[in-house]
Amino acid sequence: MTNLVRAIKEFLDERGAAIIGTVPSSEVKDALQISGTSLMEKAQSVVCFGFPLPEGIFKTAALRESHYWRAANMLYRRIDFLTLDAANFLEIKGHLSLPLFTCFPQYTERPRFIGAAQLVPVAVAAGLGGLAKCGLLLSDDFGLRLLIGGIITTANISLKRQETSVECPKDCWKCIDACPVKAISRTGKVDHESCLRHSTRNPLFTEYSRDKALREKYGFDLLLNVLGAEDHSMYTCIECVRACPKNSPKR
């Protein structure tokens, strides 16, 4: 392991990342572009890491979605800070680096709401887990409970690829069947608009985006980003994740 690879791994380990992987950016270039524009032309690698949400969040019967809302938003923020710190760490070592944030910024290609980088395929390619039938990342140790972030960089960083043969059992469709609005098809395609309408309430965004004058003045995507990020949205459904039996593989 080179000094730089060891240093970035230690940097993320020491700050609590539960799982870390890397992938050459050339292997995931489709996931790292927006409408044909690459996020970083001269990128060499992507470093990807994950933090789990505690399983108790999905087991409690009290204030179920509210617990998820608080935990997910705090973890999103923590991961985003870490992607920033890690990008700065790599730049101090001389390598241009771009944080890949958890959720925002987003842009819309209605009906799809899309993050700057598509982190799930990147995480799968980096060895953090497999692709679940519902389109989320499925981890050996944490099921569907991992939240992920990353850094795209001109540094050549290659960690030994973990062996991931994580896949859904053939006869399991629990995450898909659990969706109250049938937003996930059995092919794994997710109807983002149906999901968001059912799973998220954002009073500020709803009121502002209904106002035609404000929508025209600021644009839908700007309202979405400034009013949607972090704690402004309350989650009202997380049944797909809650249903996965692989969330507690060690119990």
67 vs 246, beta carbon nearer ligand SF4: 246
Residue (12 or 244) nearer to ligand SF4, CB: 244
Strand, coil or helix: what is 49? strand
CB 25 within 8 A of CB 155: no
User: Measured at CB, which residue is nearest to ligand SF4?
Assistant: 168
| Minimum CB–partner distance for residue 122 and ligand SF4 (Å) | 18
Q: Is 47 exposed, middle or buried (0-12, 13-18, 19+ CB in 10 A)?
A: buried
The CA–CA distances, whole Å, from 55 to 2, 4, 17, 32, 238 equal 36, 34, 17, 30, 13
* Angstrom distance (rounded) from CA 122 to CA 27: 9
User: Least distance in Å: CB of 167 to ligand SF4?
Assistant: 8
User: What's the min distance (Å) between Cβ of 223 and ligand SF4?
Assistant: 21
- Smaller CB distance to ligand SF4: residue 181 or 214? 181
Q: Shortest Cβ distance from residue 134 to ligand SF4 (Å)?
A: 5
Q: Which is nearer to ligand SF4, 23 or 243 (CB)?
A: 243
Give the span between the Cα atoms of 155 and 93, in whole angstroms: 9
Smallest distance from ligand SF4 to CB 212, Å: 28
Q: Which residue has the tokens 């039996």?
A: 245
Residue with Cβ nearer ligand SF4 (20 or 179): 179
Beta strands in the chain (DSSP E): 19-24, 33-34, 37-38, 45-52, 97-100, 106-109, 112-115, 130-131, 137-138, 146-153, 200-201, 234-235
Residues that bind ligand SF4 (CB under 6 A): 132-134, 138, 144, 168-169, 172-175, 178-179, 181, 183-184, 195, 198-199, 237-240, 243-246
User: Is 38 or 248 the residue whose CB approaches ligand SF4 more closely?
Assistant: 248
Smallest gap, in angstroms, from Cβ of residue 8 to ligand SF4? 30
CB of 94 to ligand SF4, least distance (A): 40
Measured in degrees and rounded to the nearest 5, phi and psi for residue 220 equal: -60, -45
Q: Which is nearer to ligand SF4, 126 or 184 (CB)?
A: 184
Using the 8-state DSSP alphabet, how is residue 184 labeled?
B
